[in-house]
A and B are shown apart, each in its own frame.
Chain A
Amino acid sequence: AQSVTQLGSHVSVSEGALVLLRCNYSSSVPPYLFWYVQYPNQGLQLLLKYTTGATLVKGINGFEAEFKKSETSFHLTKPSAHMSDAAEYFCAVSPYTGGFKTIFGAGTRLFVKA
């Protein structure tokens, strides 16, 4: 069985500060890992994904995430927060071996202070 845990339902940073959103996963098979962003009353938009290969993944809007198998983590970072980054962020996992059931974490709402 697979699961995703996002540490912190709310994270608040100042504009220009480092953004760190934490995600840990549980999977009995090699996972595919994703980060999605959701703005109010919108659908989810893919930020980045890890499938195989390079463990540091760069995404859109300056975000990146690092897959650490030993820590079963896939934390999302951005060096400098912008006001427009304020949104809900979801970490997700899907099974490498097939199937179409993407499991989402509970989400972390990012607040950016001026």
Chain B
Amino acid sequence: DAMVIQNPRYQVTQFGKPVTLSCSQTLNHNVMYWYQQKSSQAPKLLFHYYDKDFNNEADTPDNFQSRRPNTSFCFLDIRSPGLGDAAMYLCATSRGSDMNTEAFFGQGTRLTVV
């Protein structure tokens, strides 16, 4: 009964080779987030969607893009992965109509860049 599903769990990509991480949700939540978490650090918000509205964090590199074709799916595209992009990528959702709702996280995708 997983509610936020990330695929794959582990992804290995080559330096500079575009890679896409996917996230799907069964919660019908308005808001979907992508976080980057490096080893022993807090998750860092990259961007979020409120419905179709895309909100990029000011310090998110241009190398990172996102797509949300419908309510259920959201993708993270890394156009030219560098070694510094190796991290755990977490997708999360929340109910946009309720400000105090918590975020529901997927299990994450661990990205390795070789």
Report which A residues bind B (CB closer than 8 A). Answer: 9, 32, 34, 36, 41-46, 49, 51-52, 90, 94, 96, 98, 100-102, 104-107, 109
Contact = CB atoms under 8 A, between A and B. Distances in A.
B61 to A, nearest CB: 18
Given A42-B107, A43-B107, A32 B43 contact: no
Given A32-B99, A104-B43, 16 more contacts: A41-B9, A43-B4, A43-B6, A43-B90, A43-B92, A43-B107, A51-B100, A94-B99, A96-B99, A100-B50, A100-B55, A100-B94, A102-B103, A104-B42, A106-B41, A107-B41
Nearest to B106: A43
Contacts, number: 60
B32 to A, nearest CB: 10
Interface residues of B, number: 29
